[in-house]
Amino acid sequence: MNARVPSPLSAPRLLGDFGGTTVRLALQKPGEPARRIRRYEAAEFTGIEDALRHYFSELRLRPGQQPQAAAFAIAGPVIGTRIRMTNLPWAISLPALRRRFGFHTLLAINDFAAVAESIPTLAASDRRKLGGGAAMADKPIVAFGPGTGLGVSALVPIEAMPGEWQAVATEGGHVTLPATSREDAAIVAELQKRFGHVSAERVLSGPGLANLHDALAALAGTPLSAPLAPAAITRAAQRGDKLAKRAVTLFCAMLGTVAGNLALTYGAQGGVYIAGGVVPKLGPLFDVKTFRARFAAKGRYRGYLEAIPTYLITHKLPGLIGLATALDREAKRLAIRNA
């Protein structure tokens, strides 16, 4: 949402990353790292207004001291000025937020578009390579990853503006989950009984790992009396439980299949980056070999995909970095408009 009056360039801006499970809020001055970072459980609040009031109260910021510029990353489609989150029952009105908190500049973008925005500024230590060749300069990049849902975005170079990028927000996590083997097809058929349409997110997310584990148990003829939480599945896999280990291995495989599809769709020769909370929590259980094998298993395009690098983003707060980048771009645009 565009600003009516530009905020002073030196003033702190408010950054907010609103996921399906976690809320992260911070203050940030242009050109400086985010500070006064707070992490909350989304379930603690009734909506964004409630979360912001709590944050400002915790920081003891009265209305006259609160930032006038803000950028929010929202886990869901950001269309128009009224937004509904996908995995939280939150309805967001940008005009109401502007009035309630006196924001002069207010941006709202998809949460994985914010992650994509961060990629050009990430340090080498903020990512871990998971195979492939060297990234090609000025080629499209994909950012995706499993958390409470499955986020997907892309970053494409702006040809007329060298060094500048445009984030492409998508709802690619809700594409139909592809089956590349008989086992995959049996799992999809089992999940169709429960969900009808089986999206990639139904398997490639935290809740999706539980769905995958449940489906494998049902196919084995030993349906679970109650589903296990994703963390419990991970712990069971670490202990050597065969069903849990198979669920995690298939999770890595199916993630590779979807990643390869995204790489082909966007021509992502600049690399494919995994973010989100699930893969880091898997730790050594994440099967890179299986992931890369499925990533490249596209017939005649195997060589094309084998050359594309894949990375795990290890920075804890890429969304906040991306929001700051988006605000910097908005400030430049407003300066040009008002010159």
Residue 4 has pLDDT above 90, yes or no: no
- Phi and psi (nearest 5°) for 197? -75, 130
The answer to whether residue 158 is domain-embedded is yes
One domain, residues 328 and 303: no
CATH classification of the domain holding 63: 3.30.420.40
One domain, residues 102 and 225: no
Q: Which of 33-47, 150-164, 258-272 shows the lowest per-residue confidence on average (mean pLDDT)?
A: 150-164
**H/E segment holding residue 169:** strand 165-169
The answer to whether residue 241 is domain-embedded is yes
Domain with 17 in it: 13-110+317-338
Opening angle at CA 27, ends 86 and 164, nearest 5: 75
The dihedral formed by the CA atoms of 165, 171, 175 and 181, expressed in degrees to the nearest 10:
60
pLDDT tens digits, 160-208: 788 889 999 999 999 999 999 999 999 999 999 999 999 999 999 999 9
For residue 259, CA distances in Å to 189, 235, 275, 306, 327 come to 22, 25, 12, 12, 29
pLDDT tens digits, 82-98: 999 999 999 999 999 99
What is the reported pLDDT for 3? 36
The model carries a pTM of 0.92
What is the reported pLDDT for 7? 42
**H/E segment holding residue 185:** helix 182-195
One domain, residues 23 and 92: yes
One domain, residues 127 and 262: yes
Which residues contact residue 192 at a Cβ distance below 8 angstroms, ignoring those fewer than 6 apart? 198
One domain, residues 152 and 267: yes
The answer to whether residue 5 is domain-embedded is no
Residue 2 has pLDDT above 60, yes or no: no
Q: In what order do the strands lie in the sheet with 22-28?
A: 35-41, 22-28, 13-18, 69-74, 105-110
How far apart are the C-alpha atoms of 204 and 210, rounded to whole Å?
10
Cβ atoms of residues 108 and 93 within 8 Å: no
The answer to whether residue 117 is domain-embedded is no
Angle between helices 206-219 and 242-266 (to 10 degrees): 120
Which three-class secondary structure state does DSSP give residue 281? Answer: helix
How far apart are the C-alpha atoms of 286 and 234, rounded to whole Å?
10
CATH classification of the domain holding 153: 3.40.367.20
The answer to whether residue 68 is domain-embedded is yes
Q: Please give the mean pLDDT across all residues of the chain.
A: 93
The answer to whether residue 3 is domain-embedded is no
One domain, residues 198 and 101: no
One domain, residues 310 and 321: no
One domain, residues 168 and 62: no
User: Helices in 196-241 by DSSP H: which ranges?
Assistant: 206-219, 230-239
Confidence tier at 10 by pLDDT (50, 70, 90): low
How far apart are the C-alpha atoms of 18 and 32, rounded to whole Å?
22
Section 245-256 average pLDDT: 98
Cβ atoms of residues 166 and 120 within 8 Å: no
One domain, residues 225 and 204: yes
The answer to whether residue 7 is domain-embedded is no
One domain, residues 28 and 139: no
Point out which residues pair with 146 in neighbouring strands: 150
Quote the number of domains for the chain.
2
How far apart are the C-alpha atoms of 293 and 259, rounded to whole Å?
11
One domain, residues 287 and 228: yes
Number of H helices, E strands in the chain: 11, 13
One domain, residues 86 and 157: no
